Copies of this chain bind each other. A is one copy, B any other.
Amino acid sequence: MTTRIAILGYGNLGRGVELAIKKNSDMELVAIFTRREPSALKINSNAKVVKVDEIESWKDKIDVLIICGGSATDLPVQTPKYAKMFNVIDSFDTHAKIPEHFKNVDESALAFNKTAIISVGWDPGMFSLNRLYANAILPDGKDYTFWGKGVSQGHSDAIRRIEGVKDAKQYTIPIEEALQAVRDGKNPELSTRQKHKRECFVVLKEGADSLKIEQEIKSMPNYFIDYDTTVHFISQEELNEKHSGIPHGGFVLRCGETSNNTKHLIEYSLKLDSNPEFTSSVLVAYARAAHKLNLEGQYGCKTVFDIAPAYLSAKTNEELRASML
């Protein structure tokens, strides 16, 4: 079976989906929808580039639409809207608003016999799955999630908004001693500062006051004040050369007891060269699931929790049992 995919939004995530589809021989990228002028888009595949206004005319030519917008303003509008026309996947990651987003998407999808999967990626996504499995297996235990080492787009943006800053990149780094204490089964209570530190690489505008800017970064509420933060001032050339990647990753751990002093540690970790390319690869695997589920008549909104693992694979259940169990 071939799954015909379309992408809405051609940023980092959309380009990642385009790459991921090339790694899956049962997938075909048929169209990329954009708000920009289609002729202005340089893409890396044979997909048609189409103005988003024309999307409805593609209703019968696409099995799954992967929506690659942002969680702040794009997805809350786009996913419920397009779930009326297509099976859809998104990577909605505003944890607190997931119940509301789920409800909106569910209503649209159910009304039009479509299948939608929201909050797909690695956190939410693969990390969530691992939290669920580990909690179900070890109900008497404690969860830990560490992020990094990786680039936080939000924190990098926050630094760039400071007057006198020309460019910046921020890394979130898990603190090794904290991670080790968890692995050693010590079930530590960890403050925000004890779990992660932050490292910033900043390019100054000419004449900017580095001491003042360093102080401003370190004292920024929500973003930096609760962390040990290191600030390095470097040239634009060095930033471009050494910090142009968007690596990320992290660790989900659960330590639990099954009887007195009998402990078990479950650890899941990701080390990603490219955050958007990995997220896209998860989106594409769940696009396959959405297509299969829809063919079975399983409509409405789902999350990674609701989908049996076999739906993600191109192999049949018989092949999976024989080769991977």
A19 to B259, Cβ gap below 8 A?
yes
Of B119, B269, B308, the contact of A306 (CB 8 Å cutoff) = B308
- For A23, A280, A317, the residue with the greatest tally of chain B CB atoms inside 10 Å of its CB is A23
Inter-chain contact A135/B258, CB cutoff 8 Å: no
Contact B267 A263 (CB under 8 A): no
A164 adjacent to chain B (CB < 8 Å): no
Contact (Cβ within 8 A) B322 A98:
yes
Flag A210-237 by CB within 8 Å of B: 1 or 0 each.
0000000000000000000000000000
B285 touches A137 (CB 8 A): yes
Whether, in the assembled complex, A304 has its beta carbon less than 8 Å from a beta carbon of chain B, the answer is: yes
Specify which chain B residues have a CB less than 8 angstroms from the CB of A273 in the assembled complex: 261-264
**B313–A309 contact, CB under 8 A?**
no
Q: Which residues of B contact A310 (CB under 8 A)?
A: 132, 305-306
Asked if A156 is an interface residue, CB under 8 A from chain B, the answer is no
Contacts of A261 in B (CB 8 A): 273
Q: Is the C-beta of A43 less than 8 angstroms from some C-beta in chain B? A: no
Those of A247-271 within 8 Å (CB) of chain B: 258-259, 261-271
Partner of A264, one of B278, B317, B318, B321: B278
Contact B258 A20 (CB under 8 A): yes
Q: Which of B16, B267, B305, B317 contacts A258 (CB 8 A)?
A: B16
Interface size on A, residues (CB 8 A): 66
One complex includes copies of this chain to the number of: 2
Within 8 A of B (CB), among A264-297: 264-274, 277-278, 280-282, 285, 288
In angstroms, how far is the closest chain B Cβ from the Cβ of A5?
Answer: 15
A132 & B277 in contact (Cβ 8 Å cutoff): no
Q: Are B23 and A139 in contact (CB under 8 A)?
A: yes
Pairwise interchain contact A277-B305, C-beta atoms closer than 8 A: no
Instruction: Answer yes or no: A239 CB below 8 A from chain B CBs.
Output: no
Are A280 and B258 also in contact (CB < 8 A) when A98-B325, A270-B265 are? yes
A12 CB → nearest B CB, Å: 12
Assess whether B258 is in contact with A278, with CB atoms less than 8 Å apart: yes
A136 within 8 A of B: yes
Contact digits for A122-149, partner B, Cβ 8 Å, 1 yes 0 no = 0010101111110111111000000000
A24 within 8 A of B: yes
- 28 A-B contacts (beta carbon < 8 Å): A19-B259, A95-B325, A98-B321, A98-B325, A99-B321, A99-B322, A119-B325, A124-B325, A126-B266, A128-B324, A128-B325, A129-B133, A132-B324, A133-B312, A136-B309, A136-B313, A136-B314, A137-B281, A138-B281, A258-B277, A258-B278, A258-B280, A261-B273, A264-B273, A265-B269, A266-B269, A303-B325, A305-B310
